[in-house]
Structure 1
Amino acid sequence: MAFSTREHFINKLSVYAPEYKEELDFRQRMLALLKAPDCFLRSSLKAHFTASAWVIDPEFNEALLTHHVKLNRWLQLGGHADGDEDLLNVSKKELSEESGLTSFKPYTTEIFDIDIHTIPERKNVPEHEHFDVRFLFMADKAEEIKFNHESNEVAWVSLSEIPALCNENDSILRMIEKTKQLSKGLSVMI
């Protein structure tokens, strides 16, 4: 029997087994939000789903970050679902739109990280929460980056330099740690 995209996502999220306590809390809140029919739309003013791409180079040394225009912060690439319940697809679309890259590929189709964070009030949009689902991608650093109006800059940054650049953002530190763990696991397998 085929699942709707929402049912498929609920199943993926239900079996997602993070090692980090905060992600266990986020998972419960996300599962609760999925009961709202408009949770994938920006019109859900209190909270809605977004998707991000944590993009690393094949050597696991650098990640691709954007300096976000509206938030004036270095972050992973990503954005609003705008009604698309396939968050992996949303993360791919955002990665392509925000970087111009085409040679990227998902490291896995499984959820890499989840986070809930507050977006400050801006113009006519009240303060709200983004329920962000992150997927891991690999990309070729040699491909030319062509960023759009949403970014001041998009750049490859060494994992060791990211914490200072991102003001020790907990969710980014968590993704760095997961990347390092993955890298160690691969070197043992080789």
Structure 2
Amino acid sequence: MSRLHADALATLQGWVAPTTDQALLRDRYVCLLDARPDAMTRDCLPDHLTASTLVFNEGATRVLLTHHAKARRWFQFGGHPEPEDTTVAGAALREAVEESGLQRSDLSLDPVPIELDAHLVPFCAPGTAVHHFDVMFAATARAGARHAVSEESLDVAWWPIDDLPNPDLASRIAPALARLGHSPSS
């Protein structure tokens, strides 16, 4: 995973954070990567990096979400990098494909992160306070692409961007749409 580690470090060091809070979070991620060669693996405890993707329809009016089986909430697609991943954006895209049932050819991923989100994940390593240091990307699904429920999900469904089932996602929509060249009202 040394290529993935190097890519994550370069991606984050080169990322222009949109807010002071995001810049501070980016610095925490970089410190973790500097300190831990295994930061891209789930073996790095108590914290490690993950990658996720918000998937929009071509008109950017809907977002495809997964009803996560373990968390029992609606989220963007994402998870742990795998040994074959060589970039953090590639890990995010692979997770989106695996969890959405879409084909890789159905998705156009913007390779620049839209947001960083460090959050506690109680089911990742029971008995340990594990934090996922998530690097989130945005992608557009081609019209007519068919999604499917994966074994990690209870459901996968399109949601209007102004009527999301998880209020935590609402703040992520505008930055994602901006990266994709849309405004929330277009």
Q: Which TM-score applies when normalising by structure 1?
A: 0.84
Name the structure 1 match of 2:27.
Answer: 28
Name the structure 2 match of 1:119.
Answer: 121
| SS of structure 1 residue aligned to 2:110 | coil
Aligned with 2:155 (options 150, 153, 156): 153
Aligned with 2:175 (options 171, 178, 181): 178
- Residue deviations 1:24-56, cap 9 Å, x none? 121010000102011111111201111001111
2:115 partner letter? D
CA RMSD of aligned residues (A): 2.4
Whole-angstrom CA distance in 2 between matches of 1:10 and 1:127: 24
Whole-angstrom CA distance in 2 between matches of 1:21 and 1:111: 16
Name the structure 1 match of 2:140.
Answer: 138
Aligned pairs for 1:10-159 (under 5 A) are 10-35=9-34, 36-83=36-83, 84-102=85-103, 103-121=105-123, 124=126, 126-159=128-161
Whole-angstrom CA distance in 2 between matches of 1:123 and 1:8: 26
| SS of structure 1 residue aligned to 2:183 | helix
| SS of structure 2 residue aligned to 1:34 | helix
- Residue deviations 1:133-178, cap 9 Å, x none? 111111035222112111011111000001xx10x21xx2232121
| SS of structure 2 residue aligned to 1:95 | helix
| SS of structure 2 residue aligned to 1:183 | coil
Per-residue deviation at 1:6?
2.9
Q: Which runs of 5+ in 1 are unaligned?
A: none
Runs of 4+ in 1 over 4 A off after TM superposition: none
Q: Which runs of 5+ in 2 are unaligned?
A: none
Total equivalences in the alignment: 180
The answer as to whether partners of 2:121 and 2:132 remain within 8 angstroms in 1 is yes
The answer as to whether partners of 1:40 and 1:85 remain within 8 angstroms in 2 is no
The answer as to whether partners of 2:67 and 2:73 remain within 8 angstroms in 1 is yes
Task: Give percent identity, aligned residues only.
Answer: 28
Q: Which TM-score applies when normalising by structure 2?
A: 0.86
1:7/1:72 CA distance change after superposition, 3 Å: same
Name the structure 2 match of 1:8.
Answer: 7
| SS of structure 2 residue aligned to 1:66 | strand
The answer as to whether partners of 2:70 and 2:123 remain within 8 angstroms in 1 is no
The answer as to whether partners of 1:121 and 1:127 remain within 8 angstroms in 2 is no
